[in-house]
Copies of this chain bind each other. A is one copy, B any other.
């Protein structure tokens, strides 16, 4: 890889350069639009170089995460809409790193396809660059692999890798969570990047019209499904400033049921009251069409909650006042009394 020399982006992958040249130039330009002063461009064409600040936080730690957008790419290919996928991968990584309390520093992408389509790559790069700029995160490098025989001609996969930083003293996580802590839900913007294997199955099986407006929704189904994964950087920053934040659960594959336990130690359970928010219409529509069981729905989709903040009880009111409609109190942490680590009511 190599962010410093745009041409080098493709060197390692054996890509046909003449065909990819248009996309390369555009990707490099977009990446450069995200570069903050710590990026030392032009130093190492085989790797990106990022200068650590002179004033590091005490006991500084680097926080890293890697993710992919999964089979949401298939839907994007079917609808010819890729910009949001670029936003998806960056925001997914931002949110994962954010769960420790870290702020994003730099991002790298891995894009693999059967045959590079410059327009698709450019759209993805636009999405990634816009999300990186919004997160104050520099898109410092990437790898583009053309792998005929592994990927179909139009198919692609997009993974991301993000490094952030915080202080070991400020790390959020299960060690801080106590019985009585409150669960503050932050709404999702849609399905985010999870559940698309089930969605694709339903779309194919039921021959769903992606251009039609589903019951209980106001936009075409395809648009709703592709709505990008939102970033929780801003609301989480606001809550942190107010104090009392103990942990954050990013609700990805496995839904609330499988992701909340990741920030609870074995002695604790989360009680979630589902009457405290409205499940968005797109989930209800999918469930109704497919006759999907409640259990499968709640283990597959975020059901309208993209991030759960675990807060000291005295901190919740201030957080709610700061965020207004962009949050809801959805339950609490208690001593665990049975096998379930998340009790839905």
Contacts and interface: CB of A to CB of B under 8 A. Distances in A.
Interface of A: 1-2, 5, 8, 10-15, 40, 43-52, 56, 59-68, 70-71, 73-74, 92, 95-97, 99-100, 102, 105-106, 108-110, 112, 140-143, 145, 147-152, 155, 157, 159, 161, 163-164, 168, 171-175, 193-198, 200, 248-250, 252-254, 258-259, 262-263, 300
A108 B253 contact: no
A100 B173 CA distance: 35
Contacts of A106: 62, 64
A165 B296 CA distance: 45
Nearest to A145: B68
Given A157-B157, A168-B40, A259-B11, A66 B1 contact: yes
Contacts of A56: 52, 56
Contacts of A145: 68, 70, 157, 159
A112 B68 contact: yes
B74 A150 contact: yes
Given A13-B70, A110-B110, A140 B60 contact: no
Given A62-B163, A161-B161, A254 B68 contact: no
B14 A44 contact: no
Contacts of A161: 64, 66, 108, 110, 161
Contacts of A73: 150
Contact of A263 (B1, B45, B141): B45
Given A49-B61, A143-B68, A147-B71, A172 B13 contact: no
Contacts of A110: 66, 68, 110, 159, 161
Contact of A40 (B61, B263, B300): B61
Nearest to A196: B14
Contacts of A71: 147-150
A43 B173 contact: yes
